[in-house]
């Protein structure tokens, strides 16, 4: 119970769980263990079963346990989002980028309008990309063999919309290169940023 509450606190506040050193002698063991310790001080039932008072393999603080708790929270949040959308229209935004270790991560976001008319974007998850079969936009939107065609076979109401943000970015870059003042500003900015890095 304490581990679940501690994980819930970290997730609700977008806080990292673990510190660099979670050993017994460490002064700062990370937010998850710090919150768990704080909870156990004021709650005798939790105090009995956590941290130093728990049996060696029954502390429920291992990184694998933390991941399982986070996975349970993620499933519940996804379930709530699905219940809110029901049979209504929604958009799926998928994008990938490489993390610091150069492993590709894919973020999946659902965009929909709630019952009161507010547009919401909810992160469904981040997953590691294991392989990709795309070599350009034509592969995505191809009428016969593209990803669009494959998805439409399973779900005829799934509409393909090209990324307008990317098109807008290309237009802005093209216009900025033609305008002397804007071009000069970005060249100066580039020199300042490059100088700061050195």
Q: Are residues 60 and 36 in the same domain?
A: yes
Angle between helices 2-12 and 31-42 (to 10 degrees): 130
CB 21 within 8 A of CB 29: yes
Share of residues in the chain with pLDDT > 90 (%): 4
d(CA 17, CA 6): 9
Same domain flag for 177 and 188: yes
CA atoms lying within 13 Å on the CB side of residue 120: 16
Q: Looking at per-residue confidence, does 133 or 16 come out higher? A: 16
Is the same domain home to 62 and 96?
no
Question: 31 and 13 share a domain?
Answer: yes
The beta strands (E) that lie in the chain are given as 90-98, 104-113, 119-128
Strand residue runs (E) in 117-175 = 119-128
pLDDT per residue as tens digits for the range 109-126: 889 988 888 999 888 887
Over residues 144-196, the pLDDT tens digits come to: 666 667 767 776 766 655 555 566 667 777 777 788 887 788 778 777 766 54
In total, how many domains does the chain have?
4
Select the highest-mean-pLDDT range: 46-55, 75-84, 136-145: 75-84
């Amino acid at each position: 119970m304490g581990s679940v509450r501690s994980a819930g606190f970290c997730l609700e506040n977008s806080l990292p769980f673990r510190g660099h050193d979670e050993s017994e002698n460490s002064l700062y063991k990370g937010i998850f263990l710090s919150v768990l310790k704080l909870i156990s001080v004021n709650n005798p039932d939790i105090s009995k079963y956590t941290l130093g008072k728990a049996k060696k393999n029954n502390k429920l603080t291992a990184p694998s346990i933390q991941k399982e708790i986070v996975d349970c929270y993620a499933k519940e949040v996804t379930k709530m989002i699905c219940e809110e959308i029901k049979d209504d229209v929604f958009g799926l935004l998928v994008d990938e980028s490489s993390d610091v270790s150069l492993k590709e991560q894919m973020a999946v976001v659902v965009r929909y309008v709630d019952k009161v008319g507010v547009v919401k974007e909810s992160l469904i998850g981040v997953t590691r990309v294991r392989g990709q079969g795309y070599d350009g936009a034509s592969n995505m939107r191809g009428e016969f063999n593209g990803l669009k065609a494959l998805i439409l076979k399973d779900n005829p109401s799934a509409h393909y919309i090209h990324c307008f943000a990317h098109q807008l970015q290309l237009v802005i870059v093209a216009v900025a290169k033609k305008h002397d003042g804007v071009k000069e500003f970005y060249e100066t900015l580039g020199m300042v940023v490059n100088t700061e890095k050195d």
